Amino acid sequence: MEKSMRKILSVLLCAALFLLGIGVAGTASAQKVSAATTDYYSGITADKGTALLGQLHDLIVDTHTYYSSYDDCKTKASLTDPSENGVLEFYTHETYPNNFGSSTGVLNREHVWPKSLGHWETSNAGSDLHHIRPTEYTTNSARGNNKYGEISGGTAVYSSKGGLAGYKTSSVYEPNDNVKGDAARIVMYVYTHYNTASRVYGTKESKGSGALSFTNIMSASSESAAIELLLEWNELDPVDEIERTRNEAVYKIQGNRNPFIDNETYAEAIWGDGTAVGGGGTDVGGGGGTGTTTPTETFHPITEPEEGTYYLGMNVNGTYYYAQDSIVNNYYIGTTTDINSASEYTLTKQGDGWIIKTGSKYLEAVASGTHANPTFKTTPTSGKTWSWDSENQVFIWSDGTNEMFLGNYNGYTNIGGAFISYINSDYHAQLGTYGTGGSQGGGTEHQHTYQYQDLNDTYHTVTCSGCSEVNRQEAHVYTDAQDTTCNLCNHVRTIGGGTQGGGGTQGGTGKITITLDSFTLTDNYNFQTWSSGGVTGTAFIFGGNANYQPEQGMQFSKVKDGYSYYLANTTAVPGPIVSVKLVANGQYSNDWSVLTSDTSFGQVTGKPTGGTNHGSKAVSSSGETWNIDGDDTFFAITYDTTGFAGYLASIEITYATGGSQGGGTQGGGEVGGGQSEAFHTAVEGIVSEGSLEARAASLNEAIAAYKTLTEAERSAAAADVQKLQAAIAAYNEAVRKFNAAASASEGLALQAAGSMLN
């Protein structure tokens, strides 16, 4: 549902219910101020603006007598978020058992203001009960550390129970309308409490304070726009009983309250008059040093060039920025101050190409490693111009060896970005105009030109070649059950009736997935051991310390001498490797390479060599896949980016089973050399992590399918049988561990009751 429609329906519904006098749980109460909190706010004398903001900051800091621990966020969930037979989940308002962990269907501690967008880990703001909310694992993972904002389109996010939790793009998360106000009031609380005192006009420094801007957490073009959105959400979704009850519960634990829940008029009173924007500090906008530098008008990128005057916009995760001094919210447009979004650029036709000038200088491009930098010439390179690729909406500069791009073009190196070494579809510099109304090139309403890119066996990505508003995943579209090619992205699927190909096609696949949970970790950076799907391996990653957050995923680094920076298997994958997919954790993308071999890469300093190098790619949280030919059963993933740590959420290794890859064994109505489709599917569906109940259910399903096979079919499915046996062994090992822990726990209870037993 379009964002605007969702908002309209929400407002109409609330209005209708109000007129009918129906009291619906979670809807607005006509009362704006809680009478029960009068004493708490008795010292607040200001009624608006910076004075009110400062007094509220001092109050909630002064009265914050108990700083909750991160463990309190779990153990006190039954007090702060009670629900019948469990705990109330934040985004869906579903009820979950009071279990916290890292598997589907259990709860996580959600930082409403993500750690990476703030200045905390799991203490102070990072464990404040007014801030941290219980969130189902799937939903928490989907939100990740995306900013909050409003999305047009996007991908729906569902909890493990199937409840709609919101919508997301690669960088923005939009909660449901009935949670927007909750989120906004939490954001305001965190901003007010944990901001540097001077920035919020307070006199007392909070524990764990630091500079905060609303644009750190809200996807908006400016601080003012972020505030406007928060005020809008505060109004759209007023305070309800869930919030009031929770505020009371946390107050009893911590001693302080969230004033934006107690008094809904505070937000508008403080920020509605525009005087409390930015505070007294100098580092607004994350350290750029030049103040808020985002345009207040909409940027319209070129969709078809015409001679004229334009400006440069930097598209970062769908939001356009401009700045002075070549710095845009910490993303450099170029390494020289010559490039400047405030400068005018003229576009002039020359032959079949285009000349782009700013002042007296000619804009060209120069390749630099994996990306390109802008360069300015007082004398243009003879015979060279920019060409325009209308299909991909991008200017192309060729130096005879490299092609460099200026435009909103996914998947290719883009001009600019000297600060970040990447090949990333989220950062683009493009020429365009600023203003209201329709897009450049005729003033007509922008019509999306959709482009589809194969993502995996189930989905393709959908984007618009002319704007950044569209970025979602959709399922493949086939004409009928026999159609093997997606009508939109040309993905080719395998149908288990043996109709695909005529030789040389893959006869079935298996997959192992490596995550941080696959590891048995030791502290700090070391070679750590992992195990998944019956395959074992090693990786030089961070094993943790007192401050370690497992949500960060597998952490690699190459900053110190003697470090290694790769992951590899030490036992063979059950079949020839078909593909390797890496998924990054966090909002940044880094470069990774994939190597394969017929022998183990072992443990080496630095990274392994030898085998076949399948190339380096930038990997973001949407994932990147390497397709592998050959019969190799050993792989290595190497981290290629220098300067900071890189994080992976998962590594998926797909391998061939049954017939050999490319051997044409499929085509006789059987998959992979005679193996039962049902057994293969069941083995593929084995759950290797999470609750034992879920793991057991998936194993029993595979065992049931195994028992239906004949001896010949079992022989033909040897790889899957081996996989099943390995999964059973791993499961039983976990069973013994948990049973022993329960015995120890119960024994301790009996031991301690000794005096009662004599």
Partner 1 sequence: MKTKKLFVFIAAGALICLAGCGSGDGKRFDSLNKMLAEDYTKISLTVTDTFAEGSVLIGEYTITQAEEGKKIEYSVERFGEISLEGSNETKVILTGTAIVKDGEIVSTTGDAIELPEGIGGGYTFASEYFANVKFGDGSLTADVTDAGNFFGCTITCTDMKVEASFGDALTSLNIGFTAADGTAVEYAYTFTA
Nearer to partner 1, 203 or 700 (CB): 700
Among the listed residues 559, 571, 578, 533, the one whose alpha carbon sits nearest the alpha carbon of residue 639: 559
User: Rg (Cα) of the chain, in Å, rounded?
Assistant: 28
Site map 35..74 versus partner 1, x via CB under 8 A:
------------------------------------x--x
Q: How far is the CB of 207 from partner 1 (least distance, A)?
A: 18
Q: Quote the least distance from Cβ 694 to partner 1, whole Å.
A: 8
One symbol per residue from 717 to 756: x for binding partner 1 (CB under 8 A), - otherwise; what is it?
Answer: -------xx--x--xx--xx-xxxxxxxxxxxxxxxxxxx
- Closest distance to partner 1 from the beta carbon of 693 (Å): 6
Q: Which residue in the set 28, 59, 60, 106 belongs to the binding site for partner 1 (CB under 8 A)?
A: 106
Please give the single-letter amino acid code of residue 179.
Answer: V
The 207-236 contact track toward partner 1, x by CB under 8 A, reads ------------------------------
Tokens encoding 651 = 């590594």
* The one among 54, 105, 144, 374 contacting partner 1 by CB under 8 A: 105
From 140-148, 204-212, 518-526, 688-696, give the range in contact with partner 1 by CB under 8 A. Answer: 688-696
Q: Exactly one of 348, 697, 708, 710 binds partner 1 (CB under 8 A); which one?
A: 697
Instruction: Report the residue number, 33 or 692, with the smaller CB distance to partner 1.
Output: 692
156 makes contact with partner 1 (CB under 8 A): no
Max alpha carbon distance in the chain (Å)?
A: 102
Closest contact distance (angstroms) between CB of 253 and partner 1 is 12
- Buried b or exposed e, range 254-284, using 16+ CB within 10 angstroms: bebbbbbbbbbebbebbbbeeebbbbeeeeb
Comparing CB distances to partner 1, the nearer of 56 and 132 is 132
Instruction: Report the nearest approach of partner 1 to the CB of residue 651 (Å).
Output: 20
Best CA proximity match to 332, nearest among 218, 413, 429: 429
> What is the phi/psi pair of residue 36, to 5°?
-70, -15
Note whether 101 binds partner 1 by CB under 8 A: yes
Residue 67 CB, nearest distance to partner 1 (Å)?
A: 15
Of 286, 696, 713, 722, the one binding partner 1 (CB under 8 A) is 696
Span interacting with partner 1, options 95-103, 162-170, 296-304, 451-459, rule CB under 8 A? 95-103
- Comparing CB distances to partner 1, the nearer of 315 and 532 is 532
CA 277 to chain centroid: 28
Q: Which amino acid is at 552?
A: Q
Q: Which stretch binds partner 1 (CB under 8 A): 98-106, 287-295, 414-422, 459-467?
A: 98-106
| Window of 552-560, 593-601, 612-620, 691-699 that interacts with partner 1 by CB under 8 A | 691-699
What is the token pair recorded at 425? Answer: 């579809």
The one among 495, 689, 713, 722 contacting partner 1 by CB under 8 A:
689
Nearest to partner 1 of 69, 529 (CB atom): 69
State the nearest-atom distance from the C-beta of 703 to partner 1, in Å. 6
At closest approach, how far in Å is the CB of 159 from partner 1?
Answer: 15
Q: How far is the CB of 740 from partner 1 (least distance, A)?
A: 8
Task: Assess 22 for contact with partner 1 (CB under 8 A).
Answer: no
Nearer to partner 1, 17 or 694 (CB): 694
Smallest gap, in angstroms, from Cβ of residue 158 to partner 1? 19
Alpha carbons within 13 A on the beta-carbon side of 576: 17
**Residue 692 CB partners (closer than 8 Å, separation 6+):** 731, 734, 735, 738
Cβ of residue 160: shortest distance to partner 1, in angstroms?
11
Question: Residue 626: in which H helix or E strand, if any?
Answer: strand 624-627
Q: How far is the CB of 710 from partner 1 (least distance, A)?
A: 15
Which residue pairs from 159-165 have beta carbons closer than 8 angstroms and sit at least 24 positions apart in sequence? 159/89, 159/91, 159/92, 159/94, 160/104, 160/105, 160/136, 161/92, 161/94, 161/96, 161/105, 161/136, 163/92, 163/93, 163/94, 164/92, 165/91, 165/92, 165/136, 165/139
What's the first-to-final CA gap in the chain, in angstroms? Answer: 68
Q: What stretches of 225-335 adopt beta strand conformation (E)? A: 299-301, 308-316, 319-321, 327-328, 331-332
116: nearest Cα among 647, 676, 493: 647
Question: Which residue, 22 or 752, is less far from partner 1 as judged by CB?
Answer: 752
Partners of 675 in the β-ladder: 671
Instruction: Please state whether beta strands 147-148 and 172-175 pair in parallel, antiparallel, or not at all (unpaired).
Output: parallel
The bridge status of strand 450-454 relative to strand 554-556 is unpaired
| Number of residues counted as binding partner 1 (CB under 8 A) | 49
**With the C-alpha atoms ordered 653, 657, 660, 666, is the resulting torsion angle positive or negative?**
negative
- What is the CA angle 143-518-550, rounded to 5? 45
Distance (Å, whole) CA 585 – CA 650 = 8
In the bound state with partner 1, the residue whose beta carbon lies nearer, of 42 and 758, is 758
Q: How far apart are CA 596 and CA 459, in angstroms?
A: 26
Give 110 or 240: the residue with its C-beta nearer to partner 1: 110
Stretch that binds partner 1, among 264-272, 397-405, 454-462, 694-702 (CB under 8 A): 694-702
* Least distance CB 689 / partner 1 (angstroms): 8
**Token pair for residue 313?**
């916009």
Which one of the spans 103-111, 334-342, 427-435, 489-497 is the region binding partner 1 (CB under 8 A)?
Answer: 103-111
What is d(CA 367, CA 507) in angstroms, rounded to the nearest whole number?
A: 42
> 5 or 757, CB closer to partner 1?
757
Site string for partner 1, 698-717 (x = CB under 8 A): -xx--x--x-----------
* Cα gap 507→669, rounded to integer Å: 11
Task: Give least dist CB 754 to partner 1, A.
Answer: 4
Choice between 99 and 536, CB closer to partner 1? 99
Closest CB 741 distance from partner 1, rounded Å: 6
Between 77 and 396, name the residue whose CB sits nearer to partner 1.
77
d(CA 416, CA 422): 10
Residues in contact with partner 1 by CB under 8 A are 71, 74-75, 99-103, 105-106, 689-693, 696-697, 699-700, 703, 706, 724-725, 728, 731-732, 735-736, 738-758
